[in-house]
Amino acid sequence: MRIYGCLAILLFAVFSARGESRAPSVMTRQGALVGTQAEGLNIYKGVPFAAPPLGDLRWRPPQASRPWRGVRKADTFAPACMQKGVSMPGEAPPKTSEDCLYLNLWAPTKAPGRKLPVLVWIHGGGYSNGSASMPLYQGDRLARQGVIVVTVAYRLGPFGFLAHPELTRESPHHSSGNYGLMDQIAALQWVQRNIQAFGGDPRQVTIAGQSAGSMAVSLLIASPQARGLFQRAIGESGGVFEPFQLAPGYLLTNAERDGEKYAKSLGATSIAELRRLPAERLLGGDAGVITHPVAEPYVLPVSPYEAYVSGRQSDVPLLIGSNADEARSLLDPAKVKAASFAADLARSFGPLPPALLDGYPHATDVQARRARLDLERDLRFGWDMWAWARLQAAGKRAPVYYYAFDQRPPFPETSIYAGWGASHFAELWYVFDHLDQEGWRWTLADRQLATAMSGYWVNFIKSGDPNGDGLPHWPAYRGQADGVLHLGTPIRLSGVVALDTLKRLDDIYAGVRGVPFGGH
C-alpha cells in the first residue's frame, strides 16, 4: 500500500508540473501507466502484457512482463509482430518487431468506480500477418457505448506456430507449436489481473475475432488453458471444425516434420541455431508452411469439434456468422475456367468427392466462376459457422446467435475492393461503426446498419444477448428454418445460406469421422 501511495503522489506531481491534467493515469500490476484522452475516452496504447519473446524466449510460452519504475507512457502503438504481407488488401504494411507482445485499450472516461464489460479483440490475417493497431479495429466507437475495448497482438507465422521435436522435448508439457495461442491466453490473463484498474469487470469478458481471429476464438473455447478467462464469445467468418483427418498438418507429429523441414530450409540443425538467427531470416526458407495452430497435449488437447461432442468446451453465449460473398477477396473469378474446374480445385484442396462437385454446376465458364466462389465460401467459412452454431445449439447449452452478413458496401470502382460485395472482412466497417474511416459513398441504409450491428455487438458484450431497444428481434438459433439473422437492407430473419450444399459437405465430413453429425 505504501508503494501504491508513493506512485500515486508521483503521478500527481508529474502531471501537475506538466499541466497535463487530462492525461489519464492508472496503476497496473507491473507499474504506473499514463495514456491519452480524447472525446470522452481514456486510451492506452502499447501496454506490455508479456515479456519480449527474444533470444532464449523465442518459441517459449510467454513470460510475465517485468515491473517498471516511475510512470510508463502508453500513448503510441507498439510494432506489429514479425510478418510478411498484410492482412487486408490495400492496407499499409505495419512496422514490425519481434518485441511485439503489447495490447491497446479504449475505456470511457467515467469508468472509474464502475465495472464495465470488456471486449478482447483478436485480429485476423491467416495467423501470418495482421496487427492489433489497425485503424479499423480501434475501439473508440464501441467504447462510447459503455464497454472497454482491448486489442491484442500475438506471435505470427513461424514465430507463433513452429512445432519441432526439440521444442517438444524441452517443454514440460511435451508439446510445441501454439505460442501464438499462448500469447492470446496471456493477454486474457493480463485482463483478469488488471482490467478493474481501468473500470472493467473481469467477470464480463467477451473474446472476439474475425477470420483467423475467429478461428482462434473457436480454439480458445476448446482449450483448457483458457477456461474461465472469458464469459462470452464472438466469431466472424472463421472456425476450426473440419475433421483433422483432412487437415493432417494440425497433428503434432506432422507439424513437427514441417518444423524440421523449415529449420533445414534455413540451414539450421538445432533450435539453438534457429534462436540465434535474426528475426528477418526466420521469414525466409519454408516459412510459408508454418502458419497455423497445432493439436498438442497442453493448449489444444482436443479439436473444437471433439470438445463440443465430449462437453469439454467453455460453455459461453456465442454470436457467430459469415458473409454472403466471402471468397471474392480470396480469388479472381475471371481466371476460373470450366475445363479446368475440378483440376484447379484438386490442386488447392486435394481431390474432392464427385458428390460435392455436383452441388456446384460448372458446365460453362460463367457457371464455373460462380461455382468456385460459392464452393470456397462454403468450404472455408459457411460450413464451419453452421457446424459451430449447431454444436452450440445442441443440448442445454448457452444460447448462440447466428447471422449472415449480406450488405454490399459501396466499394468504389477505383478501389481494390471493386465488385467484391459482402466479401470477407466487409462486415468490419459496420461492426466497429467505422464507415467514416473511408470516404466512400455510404448511404443512409449503410449508416443505419452500422448503428444496428454495433448495437447488437455491444448489447451482446454487455449481457450475452444482442437484443435491445430499437433493434429488430434476433432469436437464439436452435436449428429453426428461419433462425438466421440476415444483416443487410433490410435486417430480416431467414434460413442458412446455401443449406443444400452445406449438407453435402456435412455428409462427407461425417463419413470421414465415421460418426454422423445429425441434425441437418
Cite the active site residues. Answer: 211, 326, 424
CA angle 106, 109, 113 (to 5 degrees): 110
Q: Which residues pair with 122 in a beta bridge?
A: 152, 209
3-state secondary structure at position 486: strand
What kind and span of H or E run contains 369? helix 365-377
C-alpha 379/C-alpha 249 separation (Å) is 17
The string of DSSP codes covering 480-504 is -TT-EEEESSS-EEE--TTHHHHHH
C-alpha grid cell for residue 129? 500477418
C-alpha 364/C-alpha 319 separation (Å) is 38
C-alpha 163/C-alpha 251 separation (Å) is 10
Q: Which residues pair with 494 in a beta bridge?
A: 484
3-state secondary structure at position 494: strand
Cβ(42)–Cβ(74) under 8 Å?
no
Backbone torsions φ then ψ of 120, nearest 5 degrees: -110, 110
The string of DSSP codes covering 302-314 is S-HHHHHHHT-S-
C-alpha 25/C-alpha 28 separation (Å) is 10
Largest CA distance in the chain: 78
CA angle 446, 452, 458 (to 5 degrees): 135
- Residue 362's contacts (CB-CB under 8 Å, 6 or more residues apart) are 338, 341, 368, 371, 372
Backbone torsions φ then ψ of 104, nearest 5 degrees: -130, 150
C-alpha 218/C-alpha 313 separation (Å) is 9
Which amino acid belongs to residue 270? Answer: S
For residue 298, the tally of other CB atoms under 10 A from its CB is 19
For residue 288, the tally of other CB atoms under 10 A from its CB is 13
b (16+ CB within 10 A) / e for 106-126: bbbbebeeeebbbbbbbbbbb
